[in-house]
Amino acid sequence: MAGDNRISARLRPRSLRARQLLAASIGLLAFLALAGYALDRAFIDVASEGQRERLRNYVYSYAGDIEFLRGGELYPSESPPDERFQRPGSGLYAEVVLPSGDSWTSRSASGPQLPEAAMLSAREEKFEGPLPMVQSNGTPGEVYRYGLGLVWAPDGRSDNEFAYTIYVMEDAGIIPRQVRVFRAALWVNLGVAGLILLLLQGLIVRWSLWPLRRVEHELVRVQRGQSERMGMQHPRELQPLTESINALIESEREHLARQRNTMSDLAHSLKTPLAVLRSRLDAGTGDAELREEVETQLQRMTDLVTYQLARAASSGHQLFSAAIEIEPHAEQIVRGLEKIYAAKGAVCEFEIEPSARFHGEPGDLQELLGNLLENAFKWAKSRVLLTVRPGETAPNRRPGLVLVVEDDGPGIPPDRVAAVLQRGVRGDERVQGHGIGLSIVQDLVHSYRGELNVGRSEELGGACFSVRLPPGF
Residue 343 maps to which CATH number? 3.30.565.10
Residues paired with residue 104 on neighbouring β-strands, in sequence order: 96
Q: Give the tens place of pLDDT for each residue, 33-86.
A: 898 899 989 988 898 888 899 999 999 998 888 887 766 677 777 788 889 898
- 185-194: list long-range contacts, CB under 8 Å, 24+ apart: 186/36, 186/39, 186/40, 186/43, 187/36, 190/32, 190/35, 190/36, 193/32, 194/28, 194/29, 194/32
Q: Kindly state the percentage of the chain with pLDDT values over 90.
A: 22
Q: Does 139 lie in the same domain as 7? A: yes
Over residues 352-367, the pLDDT tens digits come to 999 999 988 887 888 8
pLDDT tens per residue across span 145-169: 999 999 887 666 666 678 899 999 9
Mean pLDDT, residues 113-125: 90
Please indicate, yes or no, whether residues 374 and 283 belong to a single structural domain of this protein. no
More confident position, 222 or 314: 222
- Considering the domain architecture, whether residues 288 and 335 belong to the same structural domain is answered as no
**Looking at the predicted structure, is the pLDDT value of residue 425 above 50?**
no
Same domain, 134 and 254: no
Asked, for residue 224, whether it belongs to a domain, the answer is no
Domain-located, residue 211:
no
Looking at the fold, whether 168 and 304 belong to one and the same domain comes out as no
- Look at residue 430 in the predicted model and tell me its pLDDT: 40
Per residue in 167-192, pLDDT (tens digit) is 999 998 888 888 889 989 988 998 89
* Predicted pLDDT of residue 157: 63
- What is residue 442's predicted lDDT score, i.e. its pLDDT? 84
What's the mean pLDDT in 260-277?
59
Q: Contact, 363 vs 313, CB < 8 A? A: yes
- Whether residue 188 lies inside any domain: the answer is yes
Q: Residue 398's pLDDT is what?
A: 81
- Per-residue pLDDT band for 312 (boundaries 50, 70, 90) equals low
Q: Where are the alpha helices (DSSP H) in 12-144?
A: 16-65
The arithmetic mean of pLDDT across residues 319-334, rounded, is: 83
Q: Are residues 38 and 122 in the same domain?
A: yes
Rounded CA separation 259/251 (Å): 12
Higher per-residue confidence, 2 vs 57: 57
Instruction: Check whether 4 has a pLDDT greater than 60.
Output: no
pLDDT bin (cut points 50, 70, 90) of residue 426 is: very low
Domain limits at 402?
323-469
* Cα–Cα distance, 58 to 378 (Å, whole number): 113
Q: What integer pLDDT is reported at residue 94 of this predicted model? A: 92
Q: Are 55 and 127 in contact (CB under 8 A)?
A: yes
Residue 126 and residue 16 share a domain: yes
226 within some domain: no
Report the pLDDT averaged over residues 430-445: 62
CA dist 165 and 59 (Å) reads 10
Under 8 Å between Cβ of 405 and 386:
yes
Alpha helices in 172-238 (DSSP H): 174-208, 210-223
Q: Tell me the range of 11-20, 58-67, 301-310, 345-354 where mean pLDDT is highest.
A: 345-354
Residue 99 lies in a domain: yes
More confident site: 147 or 211:
147
What pLDDT is recorded for position 367? 81
**What total number of domains does the chain contain?**
3
Q: What backbone phi and psi angles, to 5 degrees, belong to 360? A: 180, -160
pLDDT digits (tens, 9 = 90+) for 400-412: 899 999 999 998 8
Which of 463, 366, 459 shows the shortest CA–CA distance to 410? 463
- Residue 274 or residue 60, greater confidence: 60
Shared domain check, 400 and 266:
no
Same domain, yes or no, for 180 and 259? no
pLDDT value of position 432: 42
Pair 22, 89 in one domain:
yes
Same domain for 60 and 121, yes or no, is yes
Note the pLDDT of residue 427.
Answer: 45
Question: Quick one: pLDDT band at residue 456, thresholds 50, 70, 90?
Answer: very high
pLDDT score at 214: 80
pLDDT tens by residue, 371-389: 899 989 999 999 999 999 9
Closest CA to 131 of 118, 148, 150, 149: 118
Angle, CA 222 vertex, CA 221 and CA 227 arms, to 5°: 80
**365 within domain boundaries:** yes
Pairing, β 140-152 against β 125-134: antiparallel
Per-residue pLDDT band for 469 (boundaries 50, 70, 90) equals very high
Does some domain include residue 216? no
- State the DSSP H helix or E strand holding residue 144, giving kind and residue range, or none if neither: strand 140-152
What is the secondary structure of 411-473 as a DSSP string? ---GGGHHHHTSTT--S-TTS-S-S-HHHHHHHHHHHTT-EEEEEE-TTTSSEEEEEEEPPB-
Confirm whether 84 is domain-assigned: yes
What is the predicted pLDDT for the residue at 197? 87
Does the structure show a pLDDT above 60 at 435? no
Q: What is the largest CA-CA distance in the chain?
A: 163
Q: Which of 144, 168, 200 is the C-terminal boundary of a domain?
A: 200
Answer yes or no: do 300 and 330 share one domain: no
Short-list 133, 121, 117, CA closest to 170 = 133
Considering only residues 155 and 19, tell me which one the structure prediction assigns the higher pLDDT.
19
